[in-house]
Structure 1
Amino acid sequence: MFGFLTRGKSITRIALDPPVPQGDRHGIAVVLIVRNEARHAAEWARFHRLAGVRQFIVYDNGSTDGTAEVLRSELGEALTLIPWDQKLRDAVRGLEIHNQVLAYAHAVRNFGPSFRWMTLIDLDEFLVPKGAGDLNEALAGLEGCDNISLPWHMFGRSGHIEAPEGGVLRNYTRRNPDPMSDAKGLRNFKMIVDPCKVLSIRVHQIWTDAAGTTCNDAGRRFTHRTRETREFYCAERIQLNHYYTRSDAELRAKIARGPNLTTPDADHLRRVMRKVENIERDEIEDTSALDWLDRKGVSGWT
């Protein structure tokens, strides 16, 4: 089933045979790999359930803080929880297999046939259906696309040193103004795809045809290369908010946890802090998530 493509000393792209769709497949599934996010898991789950997600397929990478229990309480039968605490290597070459990409490939093959759409995101990322009542309505206008790339909208610390009371959406409303910036670490994407068309996967790239075609959220077609251009940008239907830092205290804890792939500590720290500096340069106010909640008639969101 799997073919491996390597970069450096790790396997970061996994190829697979697309699963066969079920005749009654429908809705959208969110695939998530998580570790020790109990503080914010309830808000993230409630938001995306309200946004129309049908099923949450969560890979628990060794959480010890009650993250799984929070998600079970919020999601009930809408949650599929899978233990995923591992670091795997190719036995011949010693190459580390990216654990997040492995989870994504597993989800596509084993759960993909039941869903029209699948998105593969993190718990610090929120899919905001800006131009619609929910994600299903937003995606109804993109039925001709097998692969939709959503650019990051990168939120910083919003002046918080310690973690504030309340949720992410009300406390963090300042972001970098330019999702298509050339500044290091700011321009990247997550995807919404037809899981039954997936040929290969990286964290930020999914191939559903040999040409690497993807759509923006207006339905215009690009390639993975040309999505990097400013002509690609659109966030009218769905905006991907990435709350990269949260508070300064939580940022420090994030750095201490380390990256998904084994990386020297100094390299990881340098890369993260460079990204934070770029995020917080010339910030703008962005209340898109709260505005959507207001339109839904949700008051007192925390």
Structure 2
Amino acid sequence: MLKKLLSRAKISKLGLTAPKALPGRAGLAIVAIVKNEARYIGEWARLHHAAGARHFYIYDDASQDDTLAELRAALPPEALTVIPWAQRLSDIRLGREIHNQVLAYAHAAGNFGGAHRWMAFIDVDEFLIPTGGDSFDVALAPLGDIPNVSLPWHMFGTSGHATPPAGGVLRNYLMRARDPMGDAPGLRAFKMLVDPCRLSALRIHSMETEGTQDTWNDAGHKSSFAERDKPGFYSTAAVQLNHYYTRSQADLDAKINRGPNLVAKTDEYRRKVLRTVGSIEADLIEDTLARDCAARLLG
């Protein structure tokens, strides 16, 4: 019975021996695992590169469309590293699936992190929008030597689009959930920027540095994972993290049909997604920050 229960639990947290800092390390690198994102990945890469991301480590989960071609058209060769990442691993003793995304993040931090001051671990439906200046270097400079930053999701819905509109994500999806720190199901979550040379443990939404669960917001205020959910932690002083959770209704339907990254979660995935969509759409405001940033940086 215990073995059966354990087999349903994923291995989603990994420890890491942090890499040594290389001479002259600087800037922000972005790590993402992708599969069949050709429609959207070009805009995502161009915006982040224009905002000063130094390098992109892309873990390709056997894409069968033009994802990699779009990336190579959007980025200079020296800014892009692509790693094939189609394996599925498990603990053979208990049959526990090892989270493939966490594996990718650990590989990136351990092998490439020494070259960078910051690493961001995000998805292609998530955009980092600098708010403290039009580049990540300028926006993050006031944070000094802190080891990590927790960024709250700003959750965007369909903005009334039944199918993907022309012109990309940032121009067309302007309606988001009003309160990023609200209690509605699925809304309140974080992604993190970390100093990879002080990274000690990884999960998707919580990365430990120097063996602690201390974290900072992007205004430099210290908290803990247990306390960062409180409204007073909220800040967009340096960077706003936009999560385009649904994009169009057609994209949402495709997302549900694809199912989760972890096979064990398939049955509950549809219910979870629809519950989150309901939370987003229940109380909306217009947010043009990303659209305006893209207009300045990309024209």
- CA shift for structure 1 position 264: 4.9
Give me the whole-angstrom Cα distance separating, in 2, the residues matched to 1:196 and 1:78: 20
Counterpart in the other structure of 2:15: 15
Provide Cα deviations, 1:57-92, integer angstroms capped at 9, x if missing partner.
000011111101111121122110000012110122
Aligned residues: 293
**Superposition pairs of residues 217-236 of structure 1, within 5 angstroms:** 217-236=218-237
**Superposition pairs of residues 186-201 of structure 1, within 5 angstroms:** 186-201=187-202
- CA shift for structure 1 position 133: 1.9
Q: Structure 2: which 5+ runs fail to align?
A: 1-5
Report the residue type matching 1:58 in the other structure: I
Counterpart in the other structure of 2:112: 111
Provide Cα deviations, 1:72-113, integer angstroms capped at 9, x if missing partner.
121122110000012110122211000000000000000000
Counterpart in the other structure of 2:204: 203
Give me the whole-angstrom Cα distance separating, in 1, the residues matched to 2:254 and 2:264: 16
Give me the whole-angstrom Cα distance separating, in 1, the residues matched to 2:7 and 2:264: 14
SS at match of 1:207: strand
Whether 2:10 is the aligned partner of 1:28: answer: no
**Superposition pairs of residues 56-135 of structure 1, within 5 angstroms:** 56-75=56-75, 76-135=77-136
- CA shift for structure 1 position 256: 1.2
When the two structures are superposed, what TM-score results if normalisation uses the length of structure 2?
Answer: 0.95
Q: Percent identity?
A: 52
Give me the whole-angstrom Cα distance separating, in 2, the residues matched to 1:256 and 1:206: 30
Provide Cα deviations, 1:218-244, integer angstroms capped at 9, x if missing partner.
000000111011110001210000000
- CA shift for structure 1 position 210: 2.9
Counterpart in the other structure of 1:176: 177
SS at match of 2:153: strand
Give me the whole-angstrom Cα distance separating, in 2, the residues matched to 1:227 and 1:253: 32
SS at match of 1:103: helix
SS at match of 1:40: helix
Name the CA shift for 1:82/1:289 in 2 (closer, same or farther; >3 Å): same
Give me the whole-angstrom Cα distance separating, in 2, the residues matched to 1:265 and 1:189: 23
- CA shift for structure 1 position 144: 2.6
**Superposition pairs of residues 38-49 of structure 1, within 5 angstroms:** 38-49=38-49
SS at match of 2:179: coil
Name the CA shift for 1:9/1:265 in 2 (closer, same or farther; >3 Å): closer
Report the residue type matching 2:48 in the other structure: H
SS at match of 1:260: coil
SS at match of 2:243: strand
Report the residue type matching 2:217 in the other structure: N
Q: Structure 1: which 5+ runs fail to align?
A: 1-5
Give me the whole-angstrom Cα distance separating, in 1, the residues matched to 2:35 and 2:132: 31
Q: Which runs of 4+ in 1 moved over 6 A?
A: none
Give me the whole-angstrom Cα distance separating, in 2, the residues matched to 1:203 and 1:88: 17
- CA shift for structure 1 position 7: 9.6
SS at match of 2:44: helix
When the two structures are superposed, what TM-score results if normalisation uses the length of structure 1?
Answer: 0.94
Provide Cα deviations, 1:177-234, integer angstroms capped at 9, x if missing partner.
1000111111000111100000000000000033311110100000011101111000
**Superposition pairs of residues 127-146 of structure 1, within 5 angstroms:** 127-146=128-147
Give me the whole-angstrom Cα distance separating, in 2, the residues matched to 1:263 and 1:7: 9
Report the residue type matching 1:170 in the other structure: R
Name the CA shift for 1:99/1:38 in 2 (closer, same or farther; >3 Å): same
